[in-house]
Chains A and B, each alone.
Chain A
């Protein structure tokens, strides 16, 4: 695509045995930009990101498609090559920082370890760099706090430590999987701002979230996933302003906002599909107010719409028009 592309995922397919968790997802992360993957549980958003990191659970396998970082195919790398890339080029943070930190080592030691192992830094130099890294993510009294253990920090501070650790080796892409879901709202705002500042400083990110509000605050572009597929993609502004897929439209209408007084939030009927027994045709058709006969039989491809955005709906133009008349 454009020469600004850092990460390109094309037609990625991931299977757990016979179960296809990700069914042909393509995405591009531009240098220094943030892409959000939004979807509900079971949509395949986390599995997609784990595939990029080469961290899929043992039962899962990439069964199709490609992942390239700056032109290098990640799927063809030897395990030790991939391990080097993780940390140096790619890093990831998760919802629960406590389970990602070693409870019996000080956080300073754990961050310093990155510099000792990967950069061959001396113990003293590594410790110094660790304190710098902690200060950079806004941990007060970093020098003193480096000697504390993970349990001695609050949830928000732990997530800052994870971010410090993830960014220690200056990776080019950070994948953040529900990074603020476990945090209180005032602390969440702090972490989102920290991520935004990092992105402005040149870091490319993938943010995975179920929360359309978190996406709106952090990302430039967005992919909406449903049942293992991307159903809509585009810039956040165009997708949020006028969704081109009924599922996106439904998610927007179902999301309660603290900032608007419209009282009616509208649910999406029905339940997310069982991955083992996906509906025929379009996977969303049993829940879709726009669905017609064709949707039951014919799977809509993700197709480009005029402005460069894309929607996997036979009736995308109608959905777009609908939104305009509804006045959002």
Chain B
């Protein structure tokens, strides 16, 4: 691809400060610890991982709600850190964020029309005022809502419809990138599929790119062009979606895919899924060496001390594991402890 990527994350380190006790030591949790990622124009990249892996921190850094500790967020080739206020303002138009909870992200006192036109008030020049009504109707139609409902308030809509309002609002400024942070996770399955279909349609019609952040491996497989699997602040494996799902080479990815319940599981409900021991370690105190070693069945001495880099290891895509292999090396004997 010669085209300029919409988004580039370069060695991104970001996190939040904590304090132990009232007067205790201040510490920095590096929730995102050296992440490199690009999203091309019109591309859908999914960041998948469990709670505490730093995927939402990435989202916050991308939309400039959080200043990185180090590294860069580049938008269309330009670093956010080097932008002045005016440029940042312009940048915010081009990157929009859709959250998990459409109940919390819409002002209950504003009508749908007000919610959608709000951005046009803030960014004059996108849509001339005399076009507002027509444009609102068009947007509502585009996201599958009745244009006649523009005067209604958020509480008059269902959860799925509210998420459509959030999407219409995000589209109102004609963004090039929409960051979806668990945007379909709170929705019922039938509605979730509707919203995914809508996002797919917008991608085809408008060429908008998505950074899609989720814990749901099923959704990722059906929606993403590329996947990055995140674990405790780092990307451990990344590549084309089908490649990752058909031949995962990092033990964590293998465990995630095998653990995700699927409608097809009734066929072979043996106890053949990979069981990881214990829980995800705390991001405030990640294990030394490979951060996955405490739960990994392949880990040996080297993994305790030597952190594997994300690189090509002969499996066709980058993996951060010393023993990267499509072969899990596991028999069915993987009882939990």
Contact = CB atoms under 8 A, between A and B. Distances in A.
B336 A254 contact: no
A235 B236 CA distance: 40
A40 B160 CA distance: 13
Given A196-B271, A258-B257, A267-B190, A185 B262 contact: no
Interface in A247-293: 250-269, 271-272
Contacts of B197: 265, 267
B20 to A, nearest CB: 15
B190 A40 contact: yes
B269 A190 contact: no
Contacts of A269: 194
A192 B215 CA distance: 18
Interface string B139-161: 00000000000000000001011
Contact of A257 (B246, B255, B256, B263): B263
Contacts of A186: 50, 255-256, 259, 276, 280, 295
Interface in B278-302: 278-280, 295
At the interface, is chain B mostly helix, strand, loop or mixed?
A: helix
Range class of the B interface residue count: 35 or more
B262 A259 contact: yes
B158 A271 contact: yes
A259 B190 contact: no
Given A186-B276, A258-B245, A271-B191, A237 B266 contact: yes
B109 interface: no
B135 interface: no
B221 interface: yes
B336 A256 contact: no
A157 B193 contact: no
Given A185-B217, A186-B259, A265-B196, A157 B279 contact: yes
Interface string A233-245: 0001100110000
Interface stretch (A11-19, A120-128, A205-213): A205-213
A214 interface: yes
A217 interface: yes
B51 interface: yes
Interface residues of A, number: 51
A46 B242 CA distance: 37
B221 A217 contact: no
B337 interface: yes
Nearest to A260: B264
B337 A140 contact: yes
Contacts of B337: 138, 140
B188 A154 contact: no
B189 A251 contact: yes
A255 to B, nearest CB: 5
Contacts of A193: 271, 273, 275, 336
B218 interface: yes
Contacts of A255: 189, 193, 218, 263
Given A40-B190, A185-B217, A258-B218, A211 B280 contact: no
Given A257-B221, A258-B245, A265-B193, A185 B263 contact: no
A217 B263 CA distance: 9
B305 to A, nearest CB: 24
Interface string B76-103: 0000000000000000000000000000
B17 interface: no
Contacts of A213: 218, 260-263, 265
A44 interface: no
B41 interface: no
A81 interface: no
Nearest to A212: B263
A259 B257 contact: yes
Given A213-B218, A257-B218, A260-B264, A185 B279 contact: no
Contacts, number: 149
A271 B161 contact: yes
Given A189-B273, A268-B193, A271-B160, A216 B217 contact: no
B37 interface: no
Interface in A141-159: 154, 156-157
A257 B264 contact: yes
B193 A266 contact: yes
A254 B218 contact: no
A80 interface: no
Contacts of A138: 336-337
B111 interface: no
Contacts of B275: 189-190, 193
A154 B295 CA distance: 15
A187 interface: yes
Interface in A216-242: 216-217, 236-237, 240-241
A211 B263 CA distance: 8
A267 B193 CA distance: 5
A113 to B, nearest CB: 26
Given A259-B257, A268-B193, A185 B215 contact: yes
Query: Interface centre among B51, B190, B245, B275, by most A CB within 10 Å?
Result: B190
B283 to A, nearest CB: 13
B215 A184 contact: yes
A256 B188 contact: no
B158 A258 contact: no
A188 interface: yes
A257 B267 CA distance: 13
B260 A258 contact: yes
Interface in B222-265: 222-223, 242, 245-246, 255-265
A217 B222 CA distance: 21
B158 A260 contact: no
B219 interface: yes
A41 interface: yes
Interface in B56-77: none
Interface in B128-145: none
Given A255-B218, A260-B262, 10 more contacts: A40-B189, A189-B259, A189-B276, A193-B275, A194-B336, A213-B218, A250-B190, A268-B193, A269-B194, A272-B158
